Amino acid sequence: MTSKASTFVFVQLPGSVSSVVAARYELEPTAAGPLGRLVYGRSYLERLESLPLDPVHLPLSEVEFTTTKIGGMFGALRDAAPDAWGRMILERGRPGRNWTELDYLLEASDQRVGALRFGPRPDGPTPRDRVYTMEDLERLSEAAETLQAEAAGEATPLRADVADLLDPSSGLGGARPKASVVDERGQLWVAKLPARGDRRVNAVTEGAYLGLAARCGIRVSRSRVLNVAGRPTILVERFDQAPAREAETRRFYLSAHTLLGLDESVLDRREWSYLELAHLLRRISDEPELDVIELFRRMVFNALVTNLDDHPRNHAVIGTATGGWRLSPAFDLVASSAASADNRELAMICGAVPGRERWGSRANLVSGCRHFGLTSDEAASIIDEVKAVVTASWQAEVRAQGGTDQDCKNIAYAIAYEGFELEP
Ligand SMILES: Nc1ncnc2c1ncn2[C@@H]1O[C@H](COP(=O)(O)OP(=O)(O)OP(=O)(O)O)[C@@H](O)[C@H]1O
Ligand SMILES: [Mg+2]
């Protein structure tokens, strides 16, 4: 980056199908690294129904906000940009370019998550580009497969029409291949396309875990596992967008990464914490008691199904129709590989056992219960309940997604692992 670059930030407020300009964001290269600046527009501040882009770090105010975290990108904006998969596609299309955080944000497709949109002029965001339908799934899957082969250095006769299909990227986050597709009602779904190295039929496991989570009292989006080009592929209904008569409504979205005010360095991992997230939910949620208890339930569930990839971009809050916030439906529930039968660690701090704060075990989970407003007895009874449902129903959920006995065998190691009941 050699010079300043900027964008207007547009939002779709609850109940509206059109965007209004909310702020101007500028990214400036400085000797100390990229510096991001954000100023809310006067007209936005004067509007009664306006909402902050981030209630914790960007409250509605006339001040200029600055940040040097995440390459100068505010978390609320960064959440609207693609991650590894989407970035790989963008970079592939423009080799040799020196990408800034703002470039990724602006060049990604507008099927991005949440209610924010972007554009160079104040009169409106850059219009949304092509939207894929269910009929395109097969070609999208083939394109993703081809791109992964190419990225792995295999000699692939890359057909231009196939490669172009995913470019620009869906704008959604995450490392795995994916695309956004719209159904006949105008509702968007995330299609998580098969990834190379999927060892345990991920689509089936993910579908089974979503079903199992729902049985455990965890809110999830609707999902279906389809056979696309001979391979199971999971589609999950987008919880941030819904069809409306003229267009669609979009809901605000903030990851836990943003709420926790995190940067992207390895050192920041020390601050990845369910306990801190519970405190933030208490501050901003419309239903703080329900949301913190559900967060506890999700943490317990993740430990009991070995979902150890529960990092802070796999948790989010979502804007409500009345301008508030709720914990979003759970997503990205998968069985991680695990080396040990008695020591499995969640990605985030989930308890207070000294030196073992990430340990996914009953003892550690109960030890942090007061952060969720629970007594030890209440925490223990939630754990008993989730464990009973998980152990009784996981195989039925795998089969409900078309999984076989072998699929069950493949993930048996992940369910209610031995060390869960060990004492520290
Ligand atoms: N049902 C949904 N509705 C709206 N947004 C979603 C939904 N599911 C996922 N997302 C968004 O898309 C992003 C990527 O999805 P997901 O986490 O499932 O993908 P992934 O590639 O498996 O991620 P990871 O890199 O964590 O493995 C999420 O971080 C979230 O912002
Ligand atoms: Mg994810």
DSSP string, 86-134: HHHHHHHHSTT----HHHHHHHS-TT-SSSEEEESSTT-PPPP---EEG
Query: What residue's CA is closest to ligand 1, atom 7?
Result: 238
Q: Is 238 in the pocket of ligand 1 (CB under 6 A)?
A: yes
Give, as one character, the DSSP assignment of residue 328: P
Specify whether 264 is located in the same domain as 400. Answer: yes
Residue 160 confidence class, pLDDT cut points 50, 70, 90:
low
Helix (H) / strand (E) containing 9: strand 5-11
Asked if residue 25 is part of any domain, the answer here is yes
Specify whether 221 is located in the same domain as 350. Answer: no
Residue 18: partners with Cβ closer than 8 Å, 6 or more residues away: 12, 247
Asked if residue 85 is part of any domain, the answer here is yes
Q: Is 113 in the pocket of ligand 1 (CB under 6 A)?
A: yes
Residue 174 confidence class, pLDDT cut points 50, 70, 90:
confident
- Give the Å distance between the CA of 266 and the centre of ligand 1: 21
Atom of ligand 1 nearest to the CA of 85: 21
Specify whether 214 is located in the same domain as 277. Answer: no
Asked if residue 242 is part of any domain, the answer here is no
Q: Which of 67, 98, 119 is the last residue of a domain?
A: 119
Pairing label, strands 241-243, 248-250: antiparallel
Q: Is 236 in the pocket of ligand 1 (CB under 6 A)?
A: yes
pLDDT in tens, 392-424: 999 999 999 999 999 999 999 999 999 999 998
Give the mean pLDDT of the chain.
92
Nearest to 89 by CA among 147, 154, 142, 131: 147
Q: Which of 210, 237, 264 is the last residue of a domain?
A: 237
Determine the residue of 314, 334, 348 to mutate for testing ligand 1's pocket, defined as the one with the most ligand atoms within 8 A of the Cβ atom.
314
Q: Is 235 in the pocket of ligand 1 (CB under 6 A)?
A: no
Specify whether 264 is located in the same domain as 395. Answer: yes
Specify whether 33 is located in the same domain as 142. Answer: no
**Total tally of structural domains belonging to the chain:** 3
Give residue 1's pLDDT.
Answer: 60
Q: Is 221 in the pocket of ligand 1 (CB under 6 A)?
A: yes
Specify whether 193 is located in the same domain as 114. Answer: no
Query: What residue's CA is closest to ligand 1, atom 13?
Result: 173
Region 96-104: mean pLDDT is 91
pLDDT in tens, 312-362: 999 999 999 999 999 999 999 999 998 788 899 999 999 999 999 999 999
Two tokens, residue 80 = 């609207």
Asked if residue 265 is part of any domain, the answer here is yes
Asked if residue 288 is part of any domain, the answer here is yes
Q: Is 177 in the pocket of ligand 1 (CB under 6 A)?
A: no
Residue 261, pLDDT > 90, answer yes
Two tokens, residue 74 = 């505010």
Q: Which of 119, 140, 162 is the last residue of a domain?
A: 119
For residues 282-295, b (16+ Cβ closer than 10 Å) or e, as one string? eebbeebeebbbbb
Asked if residue 125 is part of any domain, the answer here is no
Residue 281, pLDDT > 90, answer yes
Region 26-50: mean pLDDT is 96
Specify whether 392 is located in the same domain as 354. Answer: yes
Specify whether 409 is located in the same domain as 355. Answer: yes
Specify whether 278 is located in the same domain as 409. Answer: yes
Specify whether 106 is located in the same domain as 216. Answer: no
How far apart, in whole angstroms, are the C-alpha atoms of residue 115 and residue 158?
35
* Residue 188, φ and ψ in degrees, nearest 5: -85, 145
The CATH number assigned to the domain holding 201 equals 3.30.200
Asked if residue 417 is part of any domain, the answer here is yes
Give residue 300's pLDDT.
Answer: 98
Give residue 199's pLDDT.
Answer: 63
Specify whether 259 is located in the same domain as 215. Answer: no
Residue 284, pLDDT > 70, answer yes
Give, as one character, the DSSP assignment of residue 62: S
Residue of higher predicted confidence among 357 and 144: 357
Domain boundaries, position 73: 5-119
Query: What residue's CA is closest to ligand 1, atom 15?
Result: 174
Two tokens, residue 94 = 């423009």
Q: Is 313 in the pocket of ligand 1 (CB under 6 A)?
A: yes
Specify whether 232 is located in the same domain as 143. Answer: yes
